[in-house]
Amino acid sequence: MNKKVTINPEDATEASLNCYSETPAEHDLVPRPADFDFSGDIPKYWQGEAFATRMLDALQLGFPDGERMFIHSVRNYSSEITDPVLKEQVKQFIYQEAQHGIGHTDFTKTLVDQGLPVEGVVKVIKSAMMAFKKTPRKYQLAATVAAEHMTASLGEFLLEDDNNILSNAHPAMKAFYMWHAVEEVEHKAVAWDLYESVAGGGYFTRALAMALTYPVMIGPLTLGTMAMLKADGELNVKELRKGAKTMFGKNGIWRKTFPAVMSFYKPGFHPWKTGYPESFHVWKDAYKESGDMVAAMEAVENAS
Ligand SMILES: [Fe+2]
Ligand SMILES: [Fe+2]
């Protein structure tokens, strides 16, 4: 199952704009409400290990404000979109990101209930987003394009690699992350297409945006992970060693996603040029049939 599907240009969407040329034919963005209940028996270290759990917890702390920023940067241009395909995609993009924000805000409440110091990290993220909002709107969108490439690369890693960071996670959390991963892949080219076609964005601005957005994502992630581990009494050499393996080991999240992130710098890059994981459609089809995130996640696991 851990294969990638590449898109034959002949099978791609016949589009009114050049930027759609890589988009798979009959590609659709589906509105799926965030439908999760975190009040059950989810253990504190739901991933199985302290470092990896807290790293993912810290990652998700950035989503609500980050996603609000993505929506804001896309809305800056929404009244100027004339292409009906892009208009519909932008509408669904906004819906999906808003739902992600709702889901992750809900999960953040469970971290607050655990007595974790999330407030300081959220404050840092909020100030970074406020600073982005003060930049020109083309740059705001370029930052979203860069961040969307990172979230899509992470989503593809979670979907295409059977032996990934979520392998032993609690099923409810695995379903939660898999839903977000699928939708990040599903809408991975929306901000890009808007940037290239409506905003008239070019290579230099997006390359600069990636160079600046990457540390803005990594900084609070590191800060949040360390703060939570410290609050847990788990900030020690043993956990940090495990953390180094989780990040930089053979199947490490950084090692697996960094080359994909760097592909953004290739001139002529388009998000669909990297294809999509085989399991992407397994999840989509199973969800379409069941309307259930856990059933969709299990369909991916059973297909592996
Ligand atoms: Fe998202
Ligand atoms: Fe996204």
Mean pLDDT of the 95-102 span: 96
In the chain, what are the helix, strand and coil shares in percent, each to the nearest 5? 70, 0, 30
pLDDT band for 214, please (50, 70, 90 cuts): confident
Alpha-carbon dihedral sign for residues 254, 256, 262, 264: negative
* CA 72–ligand 1 middle distance (angstroms): 13
Residue 16 has pLDDT above 50, yes or no: no
Residue 20 has pLDDT above 60, yes or no: no
* CA 57–ligand 2 middle distance (angstroms): 18
Max Cα distance, the chain (Å): 56
Residue 260 has pLDDT above 90, yes or no: no
Could you give all domains of the chain from N- to C-terminal order, each with its CATH number? 44-303 (1.10.620)
* CA 231–ligand 2 middle distance (angstroms): 30
Q: What is the pLDDT of residues 28-48, one digit of tens each?
A: 889 999 988 888 789 999 999
Spatial neighbors of 120 by CB under 8 A, at least 6 apart, are: 223, 227
Three-state DSSP state, 25:
coil
Q: Give burial (CB, 10 Å; 0-12/13-18/19+) of 33.
A: exposed
The per-residue pLDDT for 25 is: 62
pLDDT band for 2, please (50, 70, 90 cuts): low
Q: Kindly report the CA angle at 143 between 138 and 145, in degrees rounded to 5?
A: 90
CA distance 21 to 86: 13
Q: What is the pLDDT of residues 170-188, one digit of tens each?
A: 999 999 999 999 999 999 9
The per-residue pLDDT for 137 is: 96
- Which residue shows structure tokens 């297409």? 193
Of 58-62, 246-250, 273-277, highest mean pLDDT: 58-62
* CA 97–ligand 2 middle distance (angstroms): 6
Residue 138 has pLDDT above 80, yes or no: yes
Residue 74 has pLDDT above 80, yes or no: yes
| Residue 251: Cβ within 10 Å count | 15
Ligand with minimal distance to 152 CA: 2
The per-residue pLDDT for 268 is: 84
Helix 171-186 to helix 137-160 angle (10° resolution) is 130
The per-residue pLDDT for 37 is: 85
